[in-house]
A and B are shown apart, each in its own frame.
Chain A
Amino acid sequence: NAGVMQNPRHLVRRRGQEARLRCSPMKGHSHVYWYRQLPEEGLKFMVYLQKENIIDESGMPKERFSAEFPKEGPSILRIQQVVRGDSAAYFCASSPEGATNEKLFFGSGTQLSVL
Protein backbone atom coordinates (compact mmCIF):
# COMPACT_ATOMS: atom_id res chain seq x y z
CA ASN A 1 0.00 0.00 0.00
CA ALA A 2 2.01 2.93 -1.33
CA GLY A 3 2.11 6.10 0.70
CA VAL A 4 1.84 9.66 -0.57
CA MET A 5 4.15 10.00 -3.56
CA GLN A 6 5.72 13.29 -4.48
CA ASN A 7 7.93 14.01 -7.45
CA PRO A 8 10.40 15.21 -8.19
CA ARG A 9 12.30 15.02 -4.90
CA HIS A 10 14.56 17.82 -5.98
CA LEU A 11 13.81 20.50 -8.56
CA VAL A 12 16.19 23.21 -9.71
CA ARG A 13 14.85 26.16 -11.66
CA ARG A 14 16.27 29.47 -12.84
CA ARG A 15 14.47 32.67 -12.01
CA GLY A 16 11.53 33.20 -14.35
CA GLN A 17 10.98 29.51 -15.15
CA GLU A 18 7.97 27.45 -14.15
CA ALA A 19 7.98 24.77 -11.46
CA ARG A 20 5.51 21.88 -11.43
CA LEU A 21 5.28 19.73 -8.32
CA ARG A 22 3.30 16.51 -8.37
CA CYS A 23 1.55 14.62 -5.62
CA SER A 24 -0.24 11.28 -5.78
CA PRO A 25 -2.28 10.74 -2.61
CA MET A 26 -2.60 7.42 -0.85
CA LYS A 27 -5.01 4.98 -2.45
CA GLY A 28 -8.55 5.80 -1.45
CA HIS A 29 -7.72 9.30 -0.26
CA SER A 30 -9.68 12.12 -1.86
CA HIS A 31 -8.33 15.09 0.11
CA VAL A 32 -4.98 16.72 -0.67
CA TYR A 33 -3.17 19.46 1.20
CA TRP A 34 -0.05 21.40 0.19
CA TYR A 35 2.35 22.92 2.71
CA ARG A 36 5.53 24.95 2.31
CA GLN A 37 8.47 24.89 4.68
CA LEU A 38 11.00 27.67 4.41
CA PRO A 39 14.46 27.06 5.91
CA GLU A 40 14.33 26.96 9.72
CA GLU A 41 10.57 27.60 9.72
CA GLY A 42 7.42 25.58 10.31
CA LEU A 43 4.91 24.13 7.88
CA LYS A 44 2.76 26.81 6.29
CA PHE A 45 -0.61 25.81 4.89
CA MET A 46 -1.05 26.69 1.24
CA VAL A 47 -4.11 24.96 -0.21
CA TYR A 48 -6.65 22.20 0.45
CA LEU A 49 -8.25 20.36 -2.46
CA GLN A 50 -10.71 17.59 -3.06
CA LYS A 51 -11.12 15.91 -6.41
CA GLU A 52 -11.74 18.66 -9.00
CA ASN A 53 -12.37 21.27 -6.29
CA ILE A 54 -10.29 23.82 -4.43
CA ILE A 55 -11.73 23.92 -0.92
CA ASP A 56 -9.44 26.46 0.73
CA GLU A 57 -6.59 28.36 -0.91
CA SER A 58 -6.17 31.01 1.77
CA GLY A 59 -2.46 30.20 2.16
CA MET A 60 -1.58 30.51 -1.50
CA PRO A 61 0.14 33.66 -2.75
CA LYS A 62 -2.32 35.52 -4.98
CA GLU A 63 -0.01 35.60 -7.97
CA ARG A 64 2.09 32.96 -9.75
CA PHE A 65 0.84 30.03 -7.64
CA SER A 66 -1.94 27.64 -8.62
CA ALA A 67 -3.03 24.14 -7.65
CA GLU A 68 -5.28 21.51 -9.12
CA PHE A 69 -6.46 18.00 -8.29
CA PRO A 70 -8.10 16.58 -11.41
CA LYS A 71 -10.50 13.67 -11.54
CA GLU A 72 -7.72 11.50 -12.94
CA GLY A 73 -4.06 11.87 -12.11
CA PRO A 74 -1.99 13.55 -9.42
CA SER A 75 -2.45 16.88 -7.75
CA ILE A 76 -0.22 19.58 -9.25
CA LEU A 77 1.20 22.65 -7.54
CA ARG A 78 2.35 25.08 -10.20
CA ILE A 79 4.59 28.06 -9.63
CA GLN A 80 5.03 30.40 -12.56
CA GLN A 81 7.98 32.77 -13.00
CA VAL A 82 9.80 31.48 -9.95
CA VAL A 83 11.85 33.82 -7.77
CA ARG A 84 14.59 33.03 -5.26
CA GLY A 85 12.13 33.43 -2.39
CA ASP A 86 10.18 30.42 -3.69
CA SER A 87 13.07 28.15 -2.70
CA ALA A 88 11.63 25.86 -0.04
CA ALA A 89 10.50 22.34 0.71
CA TYR A 90 6.97 21.69 -0.52
CA PHE A 91 5.04 18.91 1.18
CA CYS A 92 1.86 17.26 0.08
CA ALA A 93 -0.42 15.40 2.46
CA SER A 94 -3.56 13.37 1.95
CA SER A 95 -6.44 12.17 4.05
CA PRO A 96 -9.45 9.95 3.47
CA GLU A 97 -13.06 11.08 3.44
CA GLY A 98 -14.88 11.57 6.71
CA ALA A 99 -14.74 13.66 9.85
CA THR A 100 -13.42 10.83 12.00
CA ASN A 101 -10.40 10.29 9.78
CA GLU A 102 -8.29 12.97 11.32
CA LYS A 103 -4.82 11.89 10.26
CA LEU A 104 -2.86 13.54 7.50
CA PHE A 105 -0.30 11.41 5.70
CA PHE A 106 2.65 13.25 4.22
CA GLY A 107 4.88 12.65 1.25
CA SER A 108 8.65 13.06 1.35
CA GLY A 109 8.46 16.52 -0.15
CA THR A 110 9.93 18.34 -3.13
CA GLN A 111 12.91 20.57 -2.46
CA LEU A 112 12.71 23.49 -4.88
CA SER A 113 15.87 25.49 -5.46
CA VAL A 114 15.70 28.66 -7.55
CA LEU A 115 19.01 29.86 -8.94
Chain B
Amino acid sequence: DQQVKQNSPSLSVQEGRISILNCDYTNSMFDYFLWYKKYPAEGPTFLISISSIKDKNEDGRFTVFLNKSAKHLSLHIVPSQPGDSAVYFCAARDSGTYKYIFGTGTRLKVLA
Protein backbone atom coordinates (compact mmCIF):
# COMPACT_ATOMS: atom_id res chain seq x y z
CA ASP B 1 0.00 0.00 0.00
CA GLN B 2 1.75 3.12 -1.26
CA GLN B 3 0.80 5.92 1.14
CA VAL B 4 2.89 8.54 -0.68
CA LYS B 5 2.80 8.57 -4.46
CA GLN B 6 4.77 10.43 -7.06
CA ASN B 7 3.11 9.48 -10.32
CA SER B 8 5.58 11.16 -12.66
CA PRO B 9 8.85 9.23 -12.80
CA SER B 10 10.52 11.97 -14.83
CA LEU B 11 10.18 15.59 -15.88
CA SER B 12 12.15 17.74 -18.32
CA VAL B 13 12.07 21.52 -18.10
CA GLN B 14 13.88 24.29 -19.92
CA GLU B 15 16.30 26.40 -17.91
CA GLY B 16 14.62 29.50 -16.51
CA ARG B 17 11.15 27.97 -16.60
CA ILE B 18 9.10 26.66 -13.69
CA SER B 19 9.40 23.03 -12.55
CA ILE B 20 6.35 21.57 -10.84
CA LEU B 21 6.70 18.25 -9.05
CA ASN B 22 3.61 16.57 -7.66
CA CYS B 23 2.89 14.23 -4.79
CA ASP B 24 -0.28 12.55 -3.51
CA TYR B 25 -0.88 10.88 -0.17
CA THR B 26 -3.54 8.79 1.48
CA ASN B 27 -2.88 8.94 5.23
CA SER B 28 -4.69 11.65 7.18
CA MET B 29 -2.29 11.17 10.10
CA PHE B 30 0.60 12.84 8.28
CA ASP B 31 1.59 16.07 10.06
CA TYR B 32 4.62 17.17 8.06
CA PHE B 33 5.48 16.91 4.40
CA LEU B 34 9.03 17.23 3.13
CA TRP B 35 10.88 17.40 -0.15
CA TYR B 36 14.35 15.94 -0.60
CA LYS B 37 16.77 16.17 -3.49
CA LYS B 38 19.10 13.34 -4.36
CA TYR B 39 22.12 13.16 -6.61
CA PRO B 40 23.55 9.77 -7.72
CA ALA B 41 25.74 8.06 -5.12
CA GLU B 42 24.79 10.61 -2.45
CA GLY B 43 22.30 10.70 0.38
CA PRO B 44 19.08 12.71 0.06
CA THR B 45 19.37 16.33 1.16
CA PHE B 46 16.54 18.26 2.72
CA LEU B 47 15.00 21.00 0.59
CA ILE B 48 11.84 22.32 2.17
CA SER B 49 8.99 21.18 4.39
CA ILE B 50 5.46 22.18 5.28
CA SER B 51 3.29 21.55 8.28
CA SER B 52 -0.15 20.07 7.70
CA ILE B 53 -1.71 23.21 9.21
CA LYS B 54 -0.31 25.41 6.46
CA ASP B 55 -0.98 25.58 2.74
CA LYS B 56 2.18 27.22 1.48
CA ASN B 57 5.83 27.52 2.41
CA GLU B 58 8.44 29.40 0.44
CA ASP B 59 12.23 29.35 0.56
CA GLY B 60 14.02 31.21 -2.19
CA ARG B 61 13.33 29.54 -5.52
CA PHE B 62 11.42 26.69 -3.85
CA THR B 63 7.77 26.79 -2.84
CA VAL B 64 5.69 23.93 -1.53
CA PHE B 65 1.91 23.99 -1.74
CA LEU B 66 -0.37 21.73 0.28
CA ASN B 67 -3.98 20.95 -0.56
CA LYS B 68 -5.28 18.91 2.34
CA SER B 69 -8.73 18.32 0.94
CA ALA B 70 -7.20 16.78 -2.18
CA LYS B 71 -4.36 15.13 -0.23
CA HIS B 72 -1.97 16.64 -2.71
CA LEU B 73 1.21 18.66 -2.51
CA SER B 74 3.49 20.15 -5.07
CA LEU B 75 6.98 21.61 -5.23
CA HIS B 76 7.55 24.60 -7.48
CA ILE B 77 11.06 25.56 -8.53
CA VAL B 78 11.37 28.89 -10.29
CA PRO B 79 13.48 29.71 -12.14
CA SER B 80 14.82 26.21 -12.82
CA GLN B 81 18.58 25.83 -13.16
CA PRO B 82 20.69 23.01 -14.64
CA GLY B 83 22.06 22.31 -11.15
CA ASP B 84 18.51 21.41 -10.06
CA SER B 85 18.71 18.25 -12.18
CA ALA B 86 18.34 15.43 -9.65
CA VAL B 87 15.80 12.99 -8.26
CA TYR B 88 13.23 14.63 -5.97
CA PHE B 89 11.52 12.67 -3.23
CA CYS B 90 8.36 13.66 -1.48
CA ALA B 91 8.07 12.40 2.11
CA ALA B 92 5.48 12.52 4.87
CA ARG B 93 5.71 12.00 8.62
CA ASP B 94 3.09 10.00 10.47
CA SER B 95 2.14 12.02 13.57
CA GLY B 96 1.36 8.86 15.53
CA THR B 97 4.46 6.78 14.82
CA TYR B 98 6.98 9.46 13.65
CA LYS B 99 7.66 7.17 10.72
CA TYR B 100 8.62 8.92 7.46
CA ILE B 101 7.22 7.49 4.25
CA PHE B 102 8.84 8.39 0.95
CA GLY B 103 7.47 8.45 -2.56
CA THR B 104 9.24 6.73 -5.44
CA GLY B 105 10.83 9.94 -6.71
CA THR B 106 10.69 12.13 -9.79
CA ARG B 107 13.79 12.59 -11.92
CA LEU B 108 14.03 16.24 -12.93
CA LYS B 109 16.15 17.25 -15.88
CA VAL B 110 16.68 20.95 -16.47
CA LEU B 111 17.84 21.60 -20.01
CA ALA B 112 20.30 24.43 -20.66
A69 at the interface (CB under 8 A from B): no
> In the complex the two chains form, is A91's CB within 8 Å of B44's CB?
yes
A61 at the interface (CB under 8 A from B): no
> In the complex the two chains form, is B104's CB within 8 Å of A56's CB?
no
A102 at the interface (CB under 8 A from B): yes
Query: Bound state CA distance, A104 and B47, in angstroms?
Result: 11
Question: Which of B12-20, B62-70, B76-84, B95-103 participates in binding chain A?
Answer: B95-103
> In the complex the two chains form, is B44's CB within 8 Å of A102's CB?
no
Within B87-112, the residues touching A (CB, 8 Å) are: 89, 91, 93, 95, 97-105
> In the complex the two chains form, is B46's CB within 8 Å of A109's CB?
no
Contacts of B91 in A (CB 8 A): 43, 104
Kindly report which residue of chain A lies nearest to residue B102, judged by CB atoms. Answer: A43
> In the complex the two chains form, is A91's CB within 8 Å of B104's CB?
no
Task: Count chain A residues whose beta carbon lies closer than 8 angstroms to a beta carbon of B.
Answer: 26
Query: Bound state CA distance, A102 and B41, in angstroms?
Result: 24
Looking at the assembled complex, report how far the CB atom of A19 sits from the nearest CB atom of chain B, in whole angstroms. 18
Contacts of B95 in A (CB 8 A): 99
> In the complex the two chains form, is A102's CB within 8 Å of B49's CB?
yes
A62 at the interface (CB under 8 A from B): no
Looking at the assembled complex, report how far the CB atom of B85 sits from the nearest CB atom of chain A, in whole angstroms. 17
Instruction: Identify which of A4, A41, A45 contacts B101 (C-beta below 8 A).
Output: A45
Query: Bound state CA distance, A41 and B38, in angstroms?
Result: 13
Query: Bound state CA distance, A104 and B32, in angstroms?
Result: 11
Q: Residues of B with Cβ closer than 8 Å to A?
A: 6, 31-32, 34, 36, 41-46, 49, 51, 89, 91, 93, 95, 97-105
Query: Could you list 30 A-B pairs, sorted by A, with CB under 8 Å?
Result: A4-B43, A6-B43, A35-B102, A42-B6, A42-B89, A42-B102, A43-B91, A44-B102, A45-B102, A48-B99, A55-B97, A55-B98, A58-B99, A91-B44, A93-B43, A99-B31, A99-B98, A102-B31, A102-B32, A102-B49, A102-B93, A103-B34, A104-B46, A106-B36, A106-B43, A107-B43, A108-B41, A108-B42, A108-B43, A109-B42
